[in-house]
Structure 1
């Protein structure tokens, strides 16, 4: 990859950062507040990158219809924002991969569907993201993944043509967005891929199990 990529872009949750335990903590705080049983990490990790509503569905189940979803969503987000990086960590190998990319003078950035009011404070918690040259959130522009527009905006911001960029993500929407932008796409298996998801069917150019596996592949 280091010999062929001129730019690299990453998804955030489930690709660079393991944010599941902080999202799960926000859900379980809410469940405790309203007298519901907590959800295990094995359960909430499967929907960690799907947004707030799937997490609420997981926790409140059929009782969710008795609540105002917007109120619950805001309470979830308030707690999560206040505790955004208590348990969140870089996935093993990500720091080393970013160091290799930067040592090779390859510009890189982040394209996530996470809204900017959560993305921006989260990124500030990690010095490893200081050199990111583009941070595109889910509400930076009107479109979001799987639409290619956020990818193309990041391409412009890092100053590399899309066809020379590699994009890493752990969801089908990531691969669809990267493919639509004509980037080289890489599905990462360390993220929040559900057991029934067959990432081979996503039509990624590559599938890797560990971040440093990226270094050994070529286009």
Structure 2
């Protein structure tokens, strides 16, 4: 295996953002007099994004009455002002990124989060200081599961797609990575949607914890000592 670069999804892979994303969704849901979403629902819905979170707590009649884009705008406005109150890196992520930095292994992020939210969030967390490339949902005309964002990220790292591994907690991450010709790893610790079976994603590997991912990378990545 000739892995030289590492690309990550963000929400549910490097960062547990469910607390802040959930607070934003629940802000809108509560404003309509509805019961807020439970932590369990947030954990299995956050990776599907803002639309899914709102639909998990608001019935279709109210969504049609208020307009999903209006509700989403309210949610993202609240989230944009409260990006990092509860958000934390998963256990082991700081050590993993420090190891990549120590050995000068290029790494980056490919997320379906809009850049207006991604970039300010990363700026609040010093562990992302050495991220070589960040691709958000609006960086290109396409987003995951299209392979274009991953191919763009590999190009920015100055390496071939087959020299990269992509790690994510959603089926679309694995689909995008496979379509781009990268080695793919399913992050089983992340926001696995209810009813989803990662065994069906056809990832090259699955890792249940960040530590197990760390151990895999130590064996697989081409480290120049």
Q: TM-score, normalised by structure 1?
A: 0.95
Runs of 4+ in 1 over 6 A off after TM superposition: none
Q: Is 1:121 paired with 2:114?
A: no
What is the CA-CA distance between 1:213 and the residue it aligns to? Answer: 1.2
Which of residues 58, 71, 78 is equivalent to 1:60?
Answer: 58
Relative distance call for 1:188 and 1:22 in structure 2 (3 A) is same
Q: Is 1:49 paired with 2:47?
A: yes
Unaligned runs of 5+ in 1: none
Aligned Cα root-mean-square deviation (Å): 1.4
Equivalent residues in 2 for 1:10-159, closer than 5 Å: 10-62=8-60, 63-159=62-158
Which of residues 3, 6, 17 is equivalent to 1:5?
Answer: 3
What is the CA-CA distance between 1:4 and the residue it aligns to? Answer: 4.3
Moved more, 66-75 or 142-151: 66-75
Contact residue 164 and residue 183 of structure 2 kept, 8 A: yes
Deviations 1:45-82 (A, max 9, x none): 21102121111111112432322222111111110000
Q: For 2:18 and 2:63, locate their aligned partners in 1 and report how far apart those are by CA, in whole Å.
A: 21
SS in 2 for 1:48: helix
Q: For 2:81 and 2:4, locate their aligned partners in 1 and report how far apart those are by CA, in whole Å.
A: 37
When the two structures are aligned, how many residues end up with a matched partner? 217
